[in-house]
Structures are given as C-alpha cells and as structure tokens.
Structure 1
Amino acid sequence: MINKARAINQFLELVQIDSVSYNERGVADYLLKYFSELGYEVVEDKKSNEKVPSSNAGNVIVKVPGKGALVQADTIILEAHMDTVEPGVGVKPSITEDGKYVVSDGTTILGADDKAGIAQIIEVEAVLRENKLDHPPLEFLFTICEEVGIYGAFAVDTDLLEGKIAFVLDGGGGPGTAVIGGPDYYDITGRIIGKASHAGAAPDLGISSIQVMSEAIANMKLLKIDEDTTTNIGKVVCDYPTNVVPEITTFAMEVRSLNPESGKKQLEHVIGELKKATTKFGATLEYDVTQSLHAYHHQEDNPVIQKYRKMCARHNLEYKGKVMRGGTDVSGLTFNGIDAIALSAGGENGHELQERLIIDEFLEDIQQVLWLVTE
C-alpha cells in the first residue's frame, strides 16, 4: 500500500525547503496548506511561537478524525520536528547510483533529521485515506526548534491536543527500536570578573580571571562522572594582551545525567568549585543555569511502550528499548504529560555533511507506523 516513489519524492521535496532552527516558516506554510487542502482541521500553535519568539513560526497541529471500527479509540499523536541544523540552507539531494540512499551534495547536511519523519507522516495519511483503512483519531504535531533546545515540544499548547500517547518519528536503529529514556541537561554559562592591572609593573594589584577559572577547572570532576552522568566544558574565553592581567573570563559548560539526583549533585559540584575559586582569589562570579532537557525513563508497563511492543510481537520485530544521552522531542512531550517514545525515521549520520537516508529502512519505518495506527 505504501507508494515508494511518492514517499521518496515527498522527502526530496521537503529537504529542499530551508528550515534551519528559528526559520521554520517555509515548512510550516507547506504543511498548513497541504493538510488544509485535504480538508483537515489544521492550526498553528500560536502559544508556542509566543514562548519561542525567535522562531518565525509556531508548531503545526493537524486533526485527522478516526474511521471505521477504531473511530472511538484513543487518539494517537504522530510527531516530527520541522527544523534542521546548520549548514542546512540550499540542500541539493540526490539518490545514490545503487538506489540505496538519499544524500546531499556534501556542502550541507541532508535534513533527514527530521524531514524523514515528516515525510513518513504524510505518506501514512495518504495510505490511510486512499485505502479507506480503519484508524483511531490522529493528531499530527510538527514542532519548531527541536535542534536548539526542544523548545517547540516544551512550549506546545496542550489545550490543542487530545492525545495522551505519541510516537516521535526521529530516531534510528530501524523498525523495532524505540528511545524510551533520556537525560536531564543543564547549560551553565557565566563569567569570572577579576581585576585588570599591568602584568609587568603591578601584577600584584590585579586578579587574573583566567587563573581563577583554571583553579576551578583543576578541582572539578569532568567528563564521565558515573554511568549516568557526564560534564563537559565547551568554552573558556579570555582575550587580553599578554601585558594585562585579564579581568574577565567567560565560560560555557554542560551537565547531563540519566539520574536526576546525580545530575543535581554534579551541577552543585561544578558551581561550588567556581564559587570556591572566586572566593579564594577575591574575584566575582556571575553565572546562569538553564535546564533544556528533563530526564525520563519509561517503565515497561507504560501504555505507549505496551502498544509498541504488542505491534512488534505481531509482526516479528525484535523490540529494542534504548536510553539515549541526547535530546529528542520526547523529553518535551513527556514533560507536558504525554507518554511518548521516539521511533526510527530512516536517517543516519545526523548533523553531519555525510548524513543520508537509508531508503529501505525509511519505507519499513513507514510500515511500522501504519501497523501502529491501524491495529
């Protein structure tokens, strides 16, 4: 029932619509027009745009009424994000000579993350409609700004959604694989303010901000803290002539953990070391902590996992539940009270110039979604 050529062409069309994070307007307008012309109720989530004003669009929500024997069944949400990472402007896709992959020309990412998920949802709807298949009420949710902080999923207006379970089409590993857990994620940014002085004539009158930062780093536990927790310093900036005791050093770092208590403990540790060092040298610390991901780990009795595992069993798919240390929209939906897992969308090498769509896996992933919404 899946139209292979149509699904692939749909994907090729989508990746050529520029939608780097904060600039999803083109894809949002495409989806609003496409589904409206099919006669569905389609809305743009204005509250998400208000909460993420840097984006030029809001989440897009499509309501598809149930049909046949499943018309009264619980609503299912299918979700994918509209944005891509840089460099993602002017994507030129092509199918490899062996017909196995879709790739970019190597100057940009491809955008399978997550245009593959969007294309899957569009093909699923087409198959349901053309074949008059029974299915429960469906809601398609297309989010903004996933790549820069899961902003759209966290900001979604839940008053616009009926569904309480969601399948996020933005994973890897092929049919049978589901992302069922993810981490807390903290961004720590700030600066240490010392005191400038002449490094040759009066170094004792200055307070070296970079020395303070070095003291703090030397006493921090970094990288792999335990099996659940990691910490990394990504940026330390101090740019002064060598004859000036540097007054200001800025920094950016992260703490992520699958265990909320361990993550909080590590966050307190790194901030504590920054405070100790600034006190020791008489400097000043300014910092800000933002939490962009919230840890979740669905148990086996969770309704969305139960539904997915039953589908896998019926179709002889080996179920593999994965816990990942990166972020997906599952984190935002779970935070908003929607049970969600991430399923494969068919892409690999995401965020790289070598990103590609595995065509056979992409089509198999569409089939597993069809099974989920018709059985």
Structure 2
Amino acid sequence: MINKERAINKFLELVQIDSVSYHERGVADYLINYFSELGYEVLEDKLSNEKVPLSNAGNVIVKIPGKGALANQETLILEAHMDTVEPGNGIKPSITEDGKYVVSDGTTILGADDKAGIAQILEVEAVLRENDLSHPPLEFLFTICEEVGILGAFAVDTELLAGKVAFVLDGKGGPGTAIIGGPDYYDVSGKIIGKAAHAGIAPDSGISSIQVMAEAISNMNLLKIDENTTTNIGKVICDYPTNVVPEITTFAMEIRSLDHESGKKQLNHVIETLQKAADKFDAKLEYDVDQSLYAYHHEDDNPVIKRFKEMCKRHNLNYQGLVMRGGTDVSGLTFNGIDAIVLAAGGANGHELQERLIIDEFLENTQQVIWLVTE
C-alpha cells in the first residue's frame, strides 16, 4: 500500500525547505497548507510560540477523524519535529546510484532528523485515505525547536490535544526498535568571582578565580559517576593578561542521569564542591541550574509499550526497548502527561554532514506505523 516514489519525493521536498531551529515557518506553512487542502482541521499552537518567542512558528496540530470499526477508539498521536540542526540551509539531496540512500551534497546535513518522521506521517495519512482503512482518531503533532532543548514539546498546549498516547517518529534503526527511557538533564553554569591584583607586585592581595575553579574540579566527581549518571565540564573560561590575578572565571557543565535521585545527588555534589572551594579562598560563587530534560522509563504495562509490543508480535518483529541518554520530544510529552516512545524513522548519522536516509528502513518503518494505527 505504501507508494515508495511518493514517500521519497515528499521527503526530498521537505528537506529542501529550510527549517533550522527557531526558523520553522516554512515547514509549518507547508504542513498547514497541505493538510488544510485535504479538508482536515489544522491548528497552530499559539501557546508554544508564546513560550518560545525566538521561533517564528508554533507547533502544528492536525486532527484526523476516526474511521470505520476503530473510529471510537482512543485518539493516537503521531509526532515529529520540524527543526533541524546547522548547517541545515540550502540542502541539496540526491539518491545514491545504488538506490539505497538519500544523502546531501556534503556541505550540509540532510535533515532526515526529523524530516523522515514528517514524511512518514504524510505517507501514513495518504495510505489511510486512499485505501479507506479503519483507524482511531489521530492527531499529528509537528513541534518546533526540538534540537535546542525540546522546547516545542515542553511548551505544547495540551488543551488542543485529545490523545494521551504518542509515537514519536525520530529514531534510528529498523522496525521493532523503540526508545522507552531517557534522562534528567541539568545545565549548570556560573562564575567564580575572586579579586584582581598585580601578579608580580602584589599577588597575595588577589584571589585567583581560576585557582578556585581548579580546586573545585580536583575535588569533583566527573564523567561516569555510576551506571545511570554522567557529568562533564564543557567550558572553563578565564582570559586575563598573565600579569593579572584573574578576578572572574566562568564555567558550564552538564549532568545527565536516568535515575532522579542519583541525578539530584550528583547535582548537589557539584554545587557543594564549587561552594566549598569558593569558601576556602574567600571567593564568591554565582551559578544557575536549568533542567531541560526529565527522566522517564516506561514499564511493559504502559499503554504505549503494550500497543507497540503487540504489533511487533503480530508481525514477527524483534522488539527492542532501548534507553538513551540523549534528549527527544518524548521527554516533553511525558512531562505533559502523554505516554510516548520514539520509533525509528530511517535516518542515520544524524547531525553530521554524512547524514543519510536508509530508504528500505524508512519504508519498513512507515509500514509499522500503518500497522500501529490500523489494528
């Protein structure tokens, strides 16, 4: 039932619409026009745009009425994000000579993350419509700013959504693969404020902020903390002439954990270690903590897992439930009370110039979505 040529052409069309994070307007307008012309109710989520004012668009929501024997079942959400990472403007896609992949010209990413997911949803709708297939009420949710902190999914206006179960089409791998867990994520940034002094004439009258930072780092547990938790310092910036005791050192770091308590414990350790070092040298610590992801791990009795595993069993697919340490829109949806998992869309090498769409996987993964919404 899948029209391979149509599905691939839609993907090629989508990746040529520039939509790097905060600039999703082109894709939003494309989707609004496309589904409106088909006669569906289409909404632009104004609340998401208010909460993410730097974006020039809001989340797009499409309402698909249920049909046939499944029309009265609970609403299902299919979700994909509209934005891409840089360099993502002026993408020139092509199909490789062997017909197995879609690639860019090597000067940009391809945008399979996540235009592959959007193209899947477009093809699923077309197959349902053309073949008059029974399905429950569906909501298509296309989010903004996933790549810069899951902003659209966290900001979604849940009053516009009836569905409480969502399949996010944004992963890699083949049919049967699902991401069912993700981490808490803390951004910790700040500065150590010491006291400037001439390094040659009166060093003892100064307080070296970089010495304070070094003291903190030397006493801090970093990198792999336990099986669930990691911590990494990405930036320590102190830029002074060598004859000046440096007054200010800034820093930025992250903490990820698949376990709430372990993550909080490590966050407290980091802050306490920084404060202890500052106190030792009579310096001042200023810091901010921003939690952009919230840990989740769906159990087998969760409705979204049960539906997916049952589909895998019916079609002899090897179910693989994976837990990842990166962020996806599932974190935002789960935070908003929507049970969600990530399914494979068919892309590979995401965020790289070597990104590609694996055509067979893209089509096979689209078929599994059709099974999910028609059985």
TM-score range, shorter chain: over 0.9
| Alpha-carbon offset, residue 304 of structure 1 | 0.5
CA-to-aligned-CA distance 1:55-81 (integer Å, 9 cap, x gap): 111000000001111110110000000
Aligned to 1:305: 305
Q: How does 1:100-139 map to 2 (within 5 A)?
A: 100-139=100-139
Distance 2:74 2:58 in 1: 26
Question: Which amino acid in the other structure matches residue 86 of structure 1?
Answer: E
Let me know the Cα RMSD of the aligned residues: 0.6
| Alpha-carbon offset, residue 173 of structure 1 | 1.7
Distance 1:344 1:135 in 2: 21
Aligned to 1:95: 95
Aligned to 2:16: 16
Distance 1:281 1:106 in 2: 51
Aligned to 2:75: 75
Distance 1:94 1:277 in 2: 55
Question: Which amino acid in the other structure matches residue 280 of structure 2?
Answer: K
Give the 4+ runs in structure 1 shifted more than 3 A.
none
| Alpha-carbon offset, residue 89 of structure 1 | 1.0
Aligned to 1:348: 348
Q: Secondary structure at the match of 1:240?
A: coil
Distance 1:92 1:285 in 2: 48
Distance 1:192 1:331 in 2: 32
Q: How does 1:281-320 map to 2 (within 5 A)?
A: 281-320=281-320
Is structure 2 residue 151 aligned with structure 1 residue 151? Answer: yes
Distance 1:237 1:9 in 2: 47
Aligned to 1:232: 232
Question: Which amino acid in the other structure matches residue 324 of structure 2?
Answer: M
Distance 1:146 1:82 in 2: 8
Distance 1:261 1:160 in 2: 33
Question: Which amino acid in the other structure matches residue 28 of structure 1?
Answer: A
Distance 1:226 1:232 in 2: 13
Aligned to 2:250: 250
| Alpha-carbon offset, residue 101 of structure 1 | 0.5
CA-to-aligned-CA distance 1:126-146 (integer Å, 9 cap, x gap): 111111111110000000010
| Alpha-carbon offset, residue 172 of structure 1 | 1.4
TM-score, normalised with respect to structure 1: 0.99
Q: Secondary structure at the match of 2:167?
A: strand
Question: Which amino acid in the other structure matches residue 158 of structure 1?
Answer: T
Question: Which amino acid in the other structure matches residue 6 of structure 1?
Answer: R
Question: Which amino acid in the other structure matches residue 31 of structure 2?
Answer: L
Aligned to 2:210: 210
Q: Which runs of 5+ in 2 are unaligned?
A: none
Is structure 2 residue 370 aligned with structure 1 residue 370? Answer: yes
Distance 1:30 1:287 in 2: 42
TM-score, normalised with respect to structure 2: 0.99
Instruction: State percent identity of aligned pairs.
Output: 82
Aligned to 1:170: 170
Aligned to 2:336: 336
CA-to-aligned-CA distance 1:293-341 (integer Å, 9 cap, x gap): 0000000000110000000000000000001100100111011110100
CA-to-aligned-CA distance 1:60-107 (integer Å, 9 cap, x gap): 000000111111011000000001111111111111111100111111
Aligned to 2:325: 325
Distance 2:282 2:86 in 1: 41
Is structure 2 residue 50 aligned with structure 1 residue 45? Answer: no
Question: Which amino acid in the other structure matches residue 233 of structure 1?
Answer: I
Aligned residues: 375
Distance 1:33 1:304 in 2: 30
| Alpha-carbon offset, residue 119 of structure 1 | 0.3
Deviates more, 1:340-349 or 1:197-206: 197-206
Is structure 2 residue 55 aligned with structure 1 residue 55? Answer: yes
Question: Which amino acid in the other structure matches residue 349 of structure 1?
Answer: N
Distance 1:186 1:65 in 2: 40
Distance 1:164 1:257 in 2: 25
Distance 1:107 1:196 in 2: 45
Question: Which amino acid in the other structure matches residue 365 of structure 1?
Answer: N
Aligned to 1:64: 64
| Alpha-carbon offset, residue 254 of structure 1 | 0.3
Q: Secondary structure at the match of 2:54?
A: coil
| Alpha-carbon offset, residue 197 of structure 1 | 0.9
Distance 1:173 1:100 in 2: 15
Q: Secondary structure at the match of 2:128?
A: helix
| Alpha-carbon offset, residue 205 of structure 1 | 1.0
| Alpha-carbon offset, residue 289 of structure 1 | 0.3
CA-to-aligned-CA distance 1:139-160 (integer Å, 9 cap, x gap): 0000001011101001100000
Distance 1:307 1:114 in 2: 23
